[in-house]
Amino acid sequence: MKEIAAVITEQIKHAGIVFRMSRYEDKATYQSHYLGLAWQILNPAIQVGIYYLVFGLGVNGNREIDGVPFIIWMLIGITAWFYISASILGASNSIHRQVGMVAKMKFPVSILPSINIISNLSSYIPMVAIVIGSLFLAGVTPTLYWLQFFYYFVSMVIFLFAFGLLNATITVLVRDYHIFLQSVLRLLFYVSGPIWDINNRNMPVWMIKILRLNPIYYLIEGFRDSFLSRGWVWEKTTYTLIFWCLTLMLLILGSHLHMKFRARFVDYI
């Protein structure tokens, strides 16, 4: 637990650096593009359009899900997925990519995954605003269930940090891991629920139960539960406990490996 406390203390102590560097990272990424930061919205919007044409109109025949048009149901899930996948991949490569900074100065290396996670909020927050606007256009009115968004948002950030710290450390130790993670995320895209309602798939019940254990599925369905007023978080206690147990395990393992090897990161790279 001392390792977890040390890592969390670094996040709090250097919170100012995290936010400043996340803003710099946003500007640096798109500074050579004519549309600049607008691509943070245009890129996911284009992908949403493609997925809707293929899976909404093509596969699902534009049928309603949970009483709302498919595009609304998909938009809630895929907005969370875009943020989660970008943060997982970005955080996993954050330490390896910033090796120059790590080598030349005394730097709290554990904040590098946090910088990437915060940086991705610049595209996630506008997308959430688009989701809310779309819900209003579809005739969905706010309810008390919407307050659960903040719980699932905080849960998502904590999970991403725990997983990101572990991935970033392993990527330094085993460079091939980053490529492997990209392949895993491609698979998770289809089994985590952003575009498929796995509950209505022709799959054995035991397989659906296993897929529900996926923490990313828990988060995506949680956002849908909130915005579509489908249920409260305490109504799925088992899955909530499993999610937090997995997150804690990732944080323990990630903190341990990070503190054990970070003094030799430059040598490994």
**Confidence label for 42 from pLDDT (cuts 50, 70 and 90):** low
Contact 248, 165 (CB under 8 A): no
**Confidence label for 269 from pLDDT (cuts 50, 70 and 90):** low
Model confidence, pTM: 0.87
For residue range 153-169, what is the model confidence (pLDDT) as tens digits?
999 999 999 999 999 88
Higher pLDDT, 117 or 46: 117
**79 Cα distance to chain centroid:** 9
CA distance 180 to 235: 35
Give me the domain span that covers residue 9.
2-29+36-268
Mean pLDDT, residues 149-153 taken together: 95
The most confident of the ranges 45-59, 126-140, 160-174 is 160-174
How many separate domains does the chain show?
1
* pLDDT at res. 37: 55
* pLDDT at res. 7: 86
Q: Is the pLDDT of residue 76 over 80?
A: yes
Higher pLDDT, 106 or 84: 84
* pLDDT at res. 210: 83
Q: Is the pLDDT of residue 260 over 60?
A: yes
